[in-house]
Structure formats: C-alpha cells, structure tokens
Amino acid sequence: MKLSDKLKTLAEVAINANIAYKVETAYICIIPDYVKKIISIDDNSVFYDDRGFLRKLSTSEILNATEQLHIDFIGISLLPIFDIGDNDFIVYDLKERCWYLFNIVDEIKFKKAANLTKYL
C-alpha cells in the first residue's frame, strides 16, 4: 500500500466512529476529523511500501501505547500514529493541535509541523 495514494484520497475515507470513540475516550480528548480519518484507514497495523520503514499503528497499539512503549502518552497529550523506526514515532499533539516526531528513548518531541505531509 502506498501512503501517498491513501493521503490523496483521505477526504473519501469514512471515519470509523467506533475507533474514533475508543481513542477519544482513552486519550480523554476530541480528535480533529483529519486525524480520525487517518486512524480509520485500517484497524490493523499497515506498512507503507513507498516510505522505507513507515508503519501506521493498529488501533490496539494506539490504545495501549502507554503500556506497550512505556511512555505516558495520555499524560503528555500525544497520540502516536506512525512508527518510523529507530524508536521514533509521528505523533499528534492533542494540546498544540500539531504534529511532531517523538523519540521514545529520549522522550523528546522534535521537528514540529502543522501538516503531517511534512514528514512524509
């Protein structure tokens, strides 16, 4: 699957209300529709063959990121969505309403972006 193709047709992706509800409930937040569409692309983990190592996290991984990655994502208001390797993730900052690269070893956000496509 190519991420570039999927992002071009993101407007056509239907929001999966069940997934959106679970994530909003777990993270105690309201997620913008754009982000809801991204997490609705597939309930399972998806690798994108046009971006080297790039993997959209499954719904289960997003919901259990704090336990699985040993980072309090809910407490720091970050929604992990893509694993890009080397302990780096593309996350949506729920407070700042923007995207960041986030390293789970150093627990730092870097390279802030208003638009997800900056990283892709």
Residue 53, domain extent? 3-119
Given a cut of 70, whether residue 86 has pLDDT beyond it is yes
pLDDT band at 2 (very low <50, low <70, confident <90, very high): low
Across 38-66, average pLDDT: 80
Split into its structural domains, the chain has a count of 1
Look up the pTM and report it: 0.87
Top pLDDT among 91 and 4 is at 91
Q: Are strands 78-85 and 46-47 parallel, antiparallel or unpaired?
A: unpaired
Written as six digits, the tokens of 116 are: 């997800």
For the chain, give the mean pLDDT: 88
Residue 46 clears pLDDT 80, i.e. is over it: no
- Per-residue pLDDT averaged across 40-67, rounded? 80
What is the DSSP annotation of 79-94?
A: EEEEEEETTEEEEEET
- pLDDT score for 12: 83
The two tokens of residue 30 are: 């309201």
The CATH number of whichever domain residue 52 belongs to comes to: 3.40.1580.10
Query: Cα separation of 24 and 62, whole Å?
Result: 11
